[in-house]
Amino acid sequence: MKTFSSIALVFFIISSCGSPQPTFQVSAQDGLLFAKAHENGIEANEGFVRCQNFVQGWLDQSDPETGLIPRNLEASKDIWNAQDAAADNYPFMVLTSFFVDQQMFNGRMLDMLHTEKRLTSRVNSLPDTYSFSKKGFENEKVDIAKIVFGTSEYIKDGLLPLTEWLGQSPWSERMIEMLYDLKNEIDIADQIHRGGKKNSTREEVNGEMLQTLSRVYWMTGDEQLLDWAIKIGDYYLLGDHFPTRDLDYLRLRDHGCELISGLCELYVATSYAKPDKKKAYQKPLHEMLDRILEVGRNEDGMFYDAINPQTGEIEQERIADTWGYTLNGYYDVFLLDHTPEYKEAILKIFSNLHKYTNHDWEGGSSDGYADAIESALNLYNRIPNSEVPKWMDSEIKVMWGKQLESGIIEGWHGDGNFARTTIMYNLWKSKGLYVQPWREDLILGAEQNGDSLLISISAKKPWTGKLYFDKPRYKENMKLPIDWPRINQFPEWFTADKAAQYQLVDFDKQEQKQYGGNQLIDGVDLEITDGKKLVVF
């Protein structure tokens, strides 16, 4: 872990005006929390430095003519494709740049989006695989199944998480245009497959579409998107493709888990938009979830990679790194129906996480660690548990240790998941706060104490900029009725309410100011100058 000899250390406490007024004297308890906030900041700083190095490492490998990144650095170095380069890697280069390099965010990252759209759109706006050496599409013939799969991946895995953080942007516009063009190609991904049932992408595409449509329906208010999702939901829950009765192979890890969570997200969406449909789904959905709990877990509550849900046989005994992706769906249903077993499934894993310290996720891959850490982080946001933070702190160090000096992690498209999970971790450590302009020597961390947020900012050199607070993005950006757990979302920690008033106590200046929530979201002017130091621990 890096250490910093800070020449400036600024402490704030911010709280709603209805809370007791903090004094300028730092209590012993607050002193410990400030120390923890500073420690959090050091960890988040390392994370952002690593993400910055990841971006530069991949940009160094980009195609010199188009500026696009390759799919992988060994095999497939000649191609850019939607389901891998665009879905898994590029979006988290964009998000990293948002936090650490606004010039790159508004420049090269946006240029890559425009280039991708111009060069790879093949069926209207839907992208196909592009060959750098051919200066055109890799395949002469259009394979609509591959294009549908790549587009669904690009939207759900990449552009949707970007949109949940950024709100309306050129990336959300790309997402929306592809989504509507995709609607002209499929209602239900029934014939999409790759080489047999164990590699079928049908459930993955349908699951991705369920998640995308259940969220973007609220964002746009377009009823046809929800109707589309309901067609898919009926296909599985009310038709003859029931996941645990009619399928003899069900993946509970990457790809297959998308369907489980997607059906649960649709259940939430219909509960607010079409209650009669929610009622029709309730019994079969619970049947599916109960059967998976019955035959799909080991003694610690961890899901197997794949099962035969009809016979209860374990098809792949390895433990799924995406255990939280599946449990997101269980908690979605718990929020509505209060089924105790669904929350207990999460608590059971939490109580056994210590057994999976430095576990061999996906053969020890960085991607496996990313998914496992994200699994814990998103659920911990909903169900605080004292055992989970130290596990996440331990495992993030293992994942970070896989990064090479070049900034590359493993040299394939899964490297983007390293950045995605690291950014989620960093935002947990700062409780959703960030600064602009970011600088490598600037340390920002926070700890929450009831209604108050204790913030520590330090820097080696004088710095002037803005401190930004998070907002209820689920409501502001996505228009969702509730903040239900979602795969690849960036959890919300301390969010400012635009209509509320907040008191900010600056221990460096020994002053107290009042801010509206909208001012916190738009950014608070902040200056760190030489020689400032308030508290020495």
pLDDT single digits (tens) 491-508: 999 999 999 999 888 777
Choice among 27-36, 170-179, 244-253 with the minimum mean pLDDT:
27-36
Of 362, 361, 357, 371, which is closest to residue 416 (Cα–Cα)? 371
> Regarding predicted confidence, which is higher, 349 or 9?
349
Residues 14 and 452 sit within 8 Å (Cβ to Cβ): yes
What pLDDT score was predicted for residue 512?
83
Question: Please, which pLDDT band fits residue 126 given cuts at 50, 70 and 90?
Answer: very high
**Alpha-carbon distance 513 to 502, whole Å?**
8
CA distance 377 to 80: 31
- Please tell me whether the overall predicted TM-score, pTM, comes out greater than 0.75 for this model: yes
Q: Tell me, what's the pLDDT at 2?
A: 33
Are the C-beta atoms of residues 534 and 507 closer than 8 Å to each other? yes
For residue 3, name the pLDDT band (cuts at 50, 70, 90). very low
For position 535, what pLDDT does the model report? Answer: 27
Q: Map out the domains of the chain as residue ranges.
A: 8-60+433-469+496-537, 61-185, 207-410
CATH topology of domain 207-410: Glycosyltransferase (1.50.10)
Average pLDDT over residues 443-459: 91
pLDDT band of 192, cuts 50, 70, 90: low
Alpha carbon distances (Å) from 64 to 52, 53, 61, 202: 20, 19, 8, 36
Name which residue leads in pLDDT, 514 or 356. Answer: 356
Give all strands (DSSP E) within 119-171, no chain letters: 121-123, 126-127, 130-131, 136-137
pLDDT on residue 10: 53
SS3 446: strand
Q: Are 204 and 256 in contact (CB under 8 A)?
A: yes
Burial class (CB in 10 A: 0-12, 13-18, 19+), 250: buried
Q: What angle in degrees, to the nearest 10, is found between the helix axes of 90-100 and 110-120? A: 160
Give percent of the chain with pLDDT exceeding 70. Answer: 92
Highest mean pLDDT: which range of 19-23, 191-195, 424-428: 424-428
Confidence class of residue 307 from pLDDT cuts 50, 70 and 90?
Answer: very high
